[in-house]
Amino acid sequence: MYKLQYIVFKFFRWLLLLFPEKTRFKFAEMLAILGYKMIKKRRLIALANLELAFPEKTENERKRIAIESYKIMSKAFLSTLWFEDYLKNSVAIEDLDKIEKIKERGQGLAVALIHMGNMEANLKATEKFKVVTVAKTQRNPYIDRFITESRKKLNLILIKKSKQTSRELLEQIEAKNVIALFSDHRDKGANIEFFGAETVSPTGIINIALKHNMPLVIGYNVMNRDNTSTTYFTNEIELERTDSFKDDVKNNTQMLISKMERIIINYPNQWMWFHDRWKLYKKIVKK
């Protein structure tokens, strides 16, 4: 079954690449609209999340943001099928010299990533630095191998989630590489407030920055109207350090999420709204 899925995937990729890039992105937008209309659960989650985050906006405004978000996520996903060319020709990084100066201090760098824009395009930074990230193993082993092999062409170390993840990460931290972890979605961690509502947030990148005295920045991507992408990095974030490591993790995670919230407010259509960030779907179903 997995092999058949991979054959279909390869055929779809081959067929898609016969068309100009502009046409591929138009196709991605069509898929996005279809997905928005057909997958009711994700549509309801996206709209509920947007109502929580932007109660002052009208229903039509929130719907427009949701559809734009779907389109951007669809285009971002599809562009990974010609990722090497896209990364080389269509991605820019703002203020890279700021990151270079931080790296020159020899402490490594911790980057908290946001699920927005063309997320994979953040890997443009591998042209300058060795970047380490963690990802789940894909269920289909053939597709997983395809993704892993394509990333080997970059200056990237891709650690697959396993019992050895912590040890493998520690080796890369000690090597003073760039550790980049997505830090905005719901995961085990600290209880925090996000867009005025209580939720849970991962603490991995904060733990790393605090324990290993690594400078911390936020990295995020914006997909532009012409389908190019721009990656941005914030200034270094000053972490709070007290006698209580546990409190420091919680308080700094809250600070990080609050900074991410402000970025998302500036680019609301770029964030992945269909993730059940606040566990709202069960409440929707009960209504």
Tell me the two tokens of residue 233: 């990095």
Which residue type is seen at 230?
Answer: T
Tell me the two tokens of residue 128: 């300058």
Q: What integer pLDDT is reported at residue 103 of this predicted model? A: 92
Which residue type is seen at 128?
Answer: K
Interior angle at CA 171, CA 170 and CA 176, nearest 5: 90
Element (H, E) at 60: helix 59-79
Please, what are the averages of pLDDT over each run of 10 residues along the chain (287 residues)? 87 94 98 97 97 98 98 96 93 91 94 96 91 86 81 85 88 94 93 97 96 96 97 96 96 98 98 96 77
Task: Output the CA torsion 285→65→39→261 (10° steps).
Answer: -60
Integer Cα distance of 63 and 159 in angstroms? 37
Integer Cα distance of 261 and 249 in angstroms? 18
Is 0.85 topped by the overall pTM?
Answer: yes
Where helices occur in 120-244 by DSSP H, the ranges are 141-151, 165-174, 204-211
Q: How does DSSP classify residue 124? A: G
Integer Cα distance of 53 and 257 in angstroms? 13
Neighbours of 145 (CB within 10 A): 12
Tokens 């090597």 locate to: 175
Ordered by start, the domain boundaries in the chain are 2-286
